[in-house]
Homo-oligomer: A and B are copies of this chain.
Amino acid sequence: MSKENNSNSVGIVETQFFTFDKLELESGREIAPVTIAYETYGTLNEDKSNAIFILHALSGSAHAAGYNSPDEKSPGWWDIYIGPGRAFDTEKYFIISSNTIGGCNGSTGPATINPSTGVQYGLDFPIVTICDMVKAQRRLMEHFGITKLLAAAGGSMGGMQSLAWSILYPEMVHSVLAIATAARLSAQGIAFHEVGRQAIINDPNWSRGKYYGHQIPGAGLSLARMIAHITYLSEQNMHERFGRKFQENDPDAFSFKTEYMVESYLHHQGDKFVDRFDANSYLYITRAIDLFDLSSGYGSLIPAFEKVKANYLVISFTSDWLYTSSMSRDIVQALRGNGKNVVYTNIETDKGHDSFLIDNALLQKNISNFLRRQYDEISWKNDGA
């Protein structure tokens, strides 16, 4: 079946760009101008009530579904969940997916030319936060003339953004899907980010971020990704996939050249990443995640959710040790402590944090059922009005 004719796929999509004058940041600094790379799938209905904002994780991009060209080998990062008849059903919903600021897939980030110097920002790019990312997304929403999202949905860092949407703009989000995420990163999560950043900074090609046009800090970025990938899989899953097997059938075990399968897997993931991601963006985005703490300024999580108006779907995965089920339960308890509407599911799986990116029948069902109810609710209200 060709990519264009695959009835479950959104088919060929084009990444588009929206530029606005400037964005004031939480730090007090600003970025000007700001470009946001985005894709859309499905059709915005007449009363603009069927829009869902999809929010990507650390290394994601605007390209969440379909193919950017007939030659593209793999579809967008959440293609399994986005398409006609899929969980995010493009026959019913209008999906917007954008690259975050600070990223490196079309949106303004450290690899963008700084208009005031004429060269790439590098470390002159300001520190951005999860809330800054959401503020930029709001500008894109307004660009479409949408005043209220049916849903803000994402996993991991995307889930942090979806939660932030509902706190920053309570009137603009009918529902939130927060998957494999947390209201704040754990000390262990910060620790893993820091060793990843250190791997990049240790690479002599990093040159304090001024490597554009020169050799990139590929070894450092690859190592950062290898470290991160360990945290994306569960121990159990690693055991089942790789165990203690060697990459070759008849290895000389007494040599550093010989690789266990798990080592080859990590090196492969590291190598692939270098081709598609910018090392400075890795520094900025991990830092944004570190700084995220919904309770900050509120003292605790309960008052943080006091004024939200959305309905929530919170999903965790039992074997996720980076964004644990217990972190999801903290969110659920704080929401319920405020009498808010929450559906919570802890999905049993051994696939670890990566579970939100791979095909999972329960995740599909939870998302599609929740969205259907949200859409019916909005349609019913609109009919009644």
Of the four ranges (under 10, 10 to 19, 20 to 34, 35 or more), the interface on chain A belongs to 35 or more
Is A195 a contact partner of B126 (Cβ separation < 8 A)?
no
Per-residue CB contact flags for chain A residues 214-236 toward chain B (1 = under 8 Å, else 0) read 00000110010011001001010
Report B-chain residues with C-beta under 8 Å of the C-beta of A293: 244
Q: Please name the residue on chain B nearest to A219 by beta carbon.
A: B202
Complex: A120 Cα to B226 Cα, angstroms:
31
**A143 interface residue (CB < 8 Å to B):** no
Is B235 a contact partner of A188 (Cβ separation < 8 A)?
yes
* A319 CB to nearest B CB, Å: 12
Complex: A241 Cα to B293 Cα, angstroms:
18
Is B266 a contact partner of A186 (Cβ separation < 8 A)?
no
Report B-chain residues with C-beta under 8 Å of the C-beta of A324: 235
**A262 interface residue (CB < 8 Å to B):** yes
* A196 CB to nearest B CB, Å: 9
Q: Please name the residue on chain B nearest to A296 by beta carbon.
A: B244
Report B-chain residues with C-beta under 8 Å of the C-beta of A230: 188, 191-192, 195
Report B-chain residues with C-beta under 8 Å of the C-beta of A242: 187
Q: How many copies make up the complex?
A: 2
Interface-side segment among A38-46, A51-59, A253-261, A353-361: A253-261
Per-residue CB contact flags for chain A residues 199-214 toward chain B (1 = under 8 Å, else 0) read 1001110000000000
**A268 interface residue (CB < 8 Å to B):** no
Report B-chain residues with C-beta under 8 Å of the C-beta of A184: 244
Report B-chain residues with C-beta under 8 Å of the C-beta of A243: 187
Contacts A187-B243, A187-B262: A223 and B199 contacting too (C-beta < 8 A)? yes
Interface-side segment among A13-21, A172-180, A283-291, A364-372: A283-291
Query: What are 29 A-B pairs at a CB distance below 8 A?
Result: A26-B254, A27-B253, A27-B254, A186-B235, A187-B235, A187-B239, A187-B241, A187-B260, A187-B261, A187-B262, A188-B233, A190-B244, A190-B262, A190-B263, A191-B230, A191-B238, A191-B262, A191-B263, A194-B226, A195-B223, A195-B226, A195-B227, A195-B230, A198-B223, A202-B203, A202-B219, A235-B321, A253-B291, A260-B290
8 more A-B residue pairs beyond the given contacts A188-B233, A195-B227, A202-B203, with a C-beta to C-beta distance below 8 A:
A25-B254, A127-B255, A186-B235, A188-B239, A190-B244, A191-B262, A195-B266, A235-B324
